Amino acid sequence: MLNEDPGTTATESSSALDEVWVSIDLETTGLSPEGDEIIEVGAVKFAGERILDEFETFVNPGRRLSEFIRRYTGITQDDVDRAPPFSAVAPKLGAFIGSAPILGHNVAFDLNFLASKGLKLPNPRGDTWDLAYVLLPEAPEYALSKLAASLGVAHPRPHRAMEDAQVTREVFLRLTELALELNVYTLAQIQQLAARSSWTLSYFLGKLEAHKLRAGSALGARREPDGETSRHPGVLGFDTRVLRERLQREKSLRANQVLSRMDVDLVASLLADGGPLSRTMPGFEERAEQVEMARSVAEAINGEQRLIVEAGTGVGKSLAYLLPAAMYAIANNKRVVVSTNTINLQEQLLKKDVPLLLEALAAAGIPVEAFRFTQLKGRANYLCLRRWSHLASSESLSGDEARVLSKVLVWLESTSTGDRAELNLAHRSASSPWDRVSTQGALDCAGANGVCFLRAARERAAAAHLVIVNHALLMSDVTAGGTLIPSYDILIVDEAHHLEAEATRHLGFQLSQASADERLQAIGGDRGLLQDAIAAFRGSSASSGRQESVTKVATDMMAAVPSIRTSISELFAAIAGAVTGEDGRGLDAGQDVRITKATRSQPAWSSVEIAWENVDVSLGYLGSQLSALETSLDGLEESGLIDYEGLMLEIGTALDLNSELRRHLSELIPHPSEDGIYWASRMGRTGDMSLHSAPLHVGALLDKNLFTQKQSVILTSATLSTGGSFDHIRGRTGFVDAKELLVGSPFDYAKAALVCVPEDMPEPSSWAYQEALGQAISDAALAAGGRTMALFTSKASLQATAQTVRGNLQAHGIQVLAQGIDGTPGRLVRTFVDNPSSVILGTSSFWEGVDLAGDVLSVLLVARLPFSVPTDPVFEARSELFESSFKEYAVPQAILRLRQGFGRLIRTKTDRGVVVILDRRVVSRSYGKAFLNSLPPVEVSRCGMLDLGDRIRGWLNAD
């Protein structure tokens, strides 16, 4: 051990990297400091590249290690049994660390564990997770092993304390080098954000900034493209001229005065063998189904008609509609809008399908040089620089706010879109700070120094021939009267089976007591809008009369906010007391209860109406006072108020949100719509209560406000029909008077897939079902050596199954990846692809949009038929419209979901696998035939539970 003072500081060193730090990592029996124990400690004392000392020991937890922990870490029971208890380790570890700053990857986890075991360390700290989160804003993951790989740091033995501590040290050095590359103003701004918050990185950033200044960095000087040195960049930390250059404006698209029809035969020929697509697209082959669909889409556009198309997996429906859409847009300089539901499909269209299509069209001699395409998203996706500046100017910040503001600041050095999709905002409540800096709810303005990402995105869309949106924005555009998407005549809706659900969400509303509280806190809290309004006058040249007027209005409002919050709380309590579930009890956690005419006729509803009147008066007062505040500040642009434009923007936003809240409450309580569905919910985990509204019918609204407004509309998906008919989906969406096309898949499903139904599987309502479910999933995963995905309709069942199967499968070298337990859906898929000797347990997000082609996935299990929850308020209300709701409504919906789930297995012509339906109702009930008949032509094998593994093994190993 080297006898070097651990308290050496950066001021005594020649480099920011020479301060003595201690990198630490713990291995534990679990994630809870209260209930779990430390089993290994690793610590490295270092100064820059020099390792000064190391500390490593096992720790005796006084308990048996679980099989999972032994496999996860490689630590054996004998290792810890022979080790000292932590009480003996703590004094030595404390002495080793001394007063040196402590480094960790998610260091709070380690320090909280140490504190819970009696070793409280007040040392300054640094966190490589936080550093990477800010300095690598677009990194897909911040797990230590992934981060190390991206930075070129070897990590051969993860989940061992000393190795992780060493890797954390090396990652820290790499990240410090990246931090030193930031211009000094960006670094200074991040440090100021950290200093005004509880953020862990405040200490390290202060040292880093001091080093950079001592090193003689020219204050903000750097070479711009024109060779000039930029001046002081202001609050954003850099010169916004660079951003303006990135957001170059384009001329809006102007349609030809005389429109031409497409040559349908030419469209078909481009998709033929030997055509330009076959020469430019790897693996392309002519598919009769694709040609037929492309012809139909071209004819619908030419004839200004509606068309509904179901195209099975493997048809290549994206190209079948993109080809005629692009040819029509090019020939007529017209805009086509394509709407999808999933991000995956949008990315596929933007980054793969459209570029390949344009290459093929160019090869065919069709001029594509002027063709432009882009993606347009809703307001919540784009950064508002004014709102960023306003939040960054706050007197104090939370750690989450400082972290996200800093991440955005670094990202602004490279982004040309301001789209949050470029950022990894995962973990640590990042969504709330983003909400405060996005353009959602912000009034239209000129932008900060002329920079507005939302306006730039809309200008790109106005200049584009093809605009890709999602269903959410499509529906928002409908409710906004067509003001969000540039005008267009041709609409193609892919993944159209989601259109009704998305319309239901966007044509209704949701509000909660927690969100109302948050809004009021943002206005009148300690760090709220009103405090900002008062503080804005500091150092300004505004008259004392103006300042006094603003201070009085703001002070009066701050005094009123607590009583407004109380009145809202009383309203929600009154509603909770007025609604009852089927059991006659009040609103329990995890429940949804409709608010019907019967509810409103009960004596308890009068208390709700009285409470609403109090809230309505309070919100009316708040709105008038916000207007008075806006008036008091009007005209002070030149008076030197702190972030005047950002302040006025926030006041306008608060006015709009207050008005929206008042309007929604008025509809829900005294003025419900005859076509409205209303209900109250209480979250199972938090107990928070929320109120909801949805339209009973969306079809008529979609037909009137969307479909009839367009020249031609095409709805398509791999799953739109039930029993070979489009009646269900057309009735739900109002898509009437449309031509129909149903093209099957080119895949040979008889050879590619087997459907197994264990006949002796207990029914889902049976007490024995859950145990049998776990056994079936284990048997299937073992038979396939992993390569298995199980789809659930219940989170509770998924969690119970994960607990049941994990030990047995991991003992056989098969890892279990459970949604909501082992990571996000995206992370689980990436882990599964990296190690197919796994089983994924997933709920709704895995039923579609997951593409695991090849031999990565061999077995797909359906835990139960995906019926809607009967007590779901929207489903319940709409079911009442049918004479036989189960047959006419519940079964068709569940069939479409099952078909989506089935589609996860066979993705290419060479895929081969087994689908196991673990719900015997598919063979024991009369309606089961409708489910099986809706699947592609596959062999359905009835088997016993004991035979399931052998049946899977035999099919997968057959020639």
Residue 738 identity: A
The 3-state DSSP class for residue 630 equals helix
- pLDDT at 239 (0 to 100): 64
Across the range 711-733, mean pLDDT stands at: 94
The 3-state secondary structure of 384-425, one letter per residue? CHHHHHHHHCCCCCCHHHHHHHHHHHHHCCCCCCCEHHHCCC
Is 59:85 a contact under the CB 8 Å cutoff? yes
Which residue from 536, 457, 557 is spatially nearest to 249, judged by alpha carbons?
457
CA–CA gap between residue 356 and residue 281 (Å, rounded) = 7
The 3-state DSSP class for residue 28 equals strand
Is 841:798 a contact under the CB 8 Å cutoff? yes
The 3-state DSSP class for residue 331 equals helix
- pLDDT at 232 (0 to 100): 36
Q: Percent of the chain having pLDDT more than 70? A: 92
- pLDDT at 7 (0 to 100): 43
184-195 and 399-411 helices, crossing angle to 10°: 170
CA–CA gap between residue 878 and residue 494 (Å, rounded) = 24
Please state the separation of Cα 13 from the chain's center in Å: 44
pLDDT band at 290 (very low <50, low <70, confident <90, very high): very high
- pLDDT at 277 (0 to 100): 82
Which residue from 495, 491, 139, 475 is spatially nearest to 345, judged by alpha carbons?
495
Across the range 89-102, mean pLDDT stands at: 96
- pLDDT at 518 (0 to 100): 87
pLDDT band at 85 (very low <50, low <70, confident <90, very high): very high
Which residue from 849, 847, 836, 865 is spatially nearest to 934, judged by alpha carbons?
865
The 3-state secondary structure of 845-872, one letter per residue? HHCCCCCCCHHHCCEEEECCCCCCCCCC
Q: 905-953, pLDDT tens digit by residue? A: 988 888 899 999 999 999 999 999 999 999 999 999 999 999 999 999 9
Q: If you write DSSP's letter for every residue of 183-214 in order, what string do you get?
A: -HHHHHHHHHHHHTTT-TTHHHHHHHHHHHHH
Across the range 315-329, mean pLDDT stands at: 95
Q: 769-783, pLDDT tens digit by residue? A: 999 999 999 999 999
Beta-sheet pairing, 753-758 with 939-943: parallel
Q: 164-185, pLDDT tens digit by residue? A: 999 999 999 999 999 988 888 8
Q: 735-757, pLDDT tens digit by residue? A: 999 999 999 899 999 999 999 99
Is 495:595 a contact under the CB 8 Å cutoff? no
Decide if pLDDT at 151 tops 70.
yes
- pLDDT at 959 (0 to 100): 63
Output the average pLDDT for the chain. Answer: 88
CA–CA gap between residue 845 and residue 237 (Å, rounded) = 39
- pLDDT at 10 (0 to 100): 36
pLDDT band at 229 (very low <50, low <70, confident <90, very high): very low
Decide if pLDDT at 343 tops 70.
yes
- pLDDT at 852 (0 to 100): 82
CA–CA gap between residue 926 and residue 932 (Å, rounded) = 11
- pLDDT at 279 (0 to 100): 81
Write out the H or E segment, with its range, that includes residue 24: strand 20-28
Distances in Å between the Cα of 747 and the Cα atoms of 325, 431, 704 are: 26, 42, 38
Residue 903 identity: G
Beta-sheet pairing, 306-311 with 739-743: parallel
Beta-bridge mates of residue 712:
490
272 φψ region: left (φ > 0), alpha (ψ -120 to 50), beta (else): beta
Place of tokens 């909501």: 820
Side-chain half-sphere exposure of 613, counting CA atoms within 13 A = 5
Is 867:890 a contact under the CB 8 Å cutoff? yes
CA–CA gap between residue 498 and residue 893 (Å, rounded) = 11
Beta-bridge mates of residue 212:
none
pLDDT band at 200 (very low <50, low <70, confident <90, very high): confident
Is 931:892 a contact under the CB 8 Å cutoff? no
Decide if pLDDT at 633 tops 80.
yes
- pLDDT at 340 (0 to 100): 95
More confident residue, 335 or 156: 335
Task: Give the tokens for residue 214.
Answer: 């001592």
Is 364:276 a contact under the CB 8 Å cutoff? yes
Q: Is the pTM of this model over 0.85?
A: yes
Across the range 361-375, mean pLDDT stands at: 90
The 3-state secondary structure of 355-395, one letter per residue? HHHHHHHHHCCCCCCCCCEEECCCHHHEECHHHHHHHHCCC
Task: Give the tokens for residue 47.
Answer: 């100064």
Please state the separation of Cα 256 from the chain's center in Å: 40
- List Cβ neighbours of 834 (8 Å cut-off, separation of 6 or more): none
Q: Percent of the chain having pLDDT more than 90? A: 63
pLDDT band at 446 (very low <50, low <70, confident <90, very high): low
Decide if pLDDT at 886 tops 80.
yes
Which residue from 739, 735, 866 is spatially nearest to 792, judged by alpha carbons?
866
pLDDT band at 292 (very low <50, low <70, confident <90, very high): very high
- pLDDT at 25 (0 to 100): 97
- List Cβ neighbours of 959 (8 Å cut-off, separation of 6 or more): none
Write out the H or E segment, with its range, that includes residue 150: helix 144-150
Is 123:145 a contact under the CB 8 Å cutoff? no
Side-chain half-sphere exposure of 120, counting CA atoms within 13 A = 3
Beta-bridge mates of residue 374:
467
- pLDDT at 542 (0 to 100): 84
Q: 852-884, pLDDT tens digit by residue? A: 877 899 999 999 999 999 989 999 999 999 999
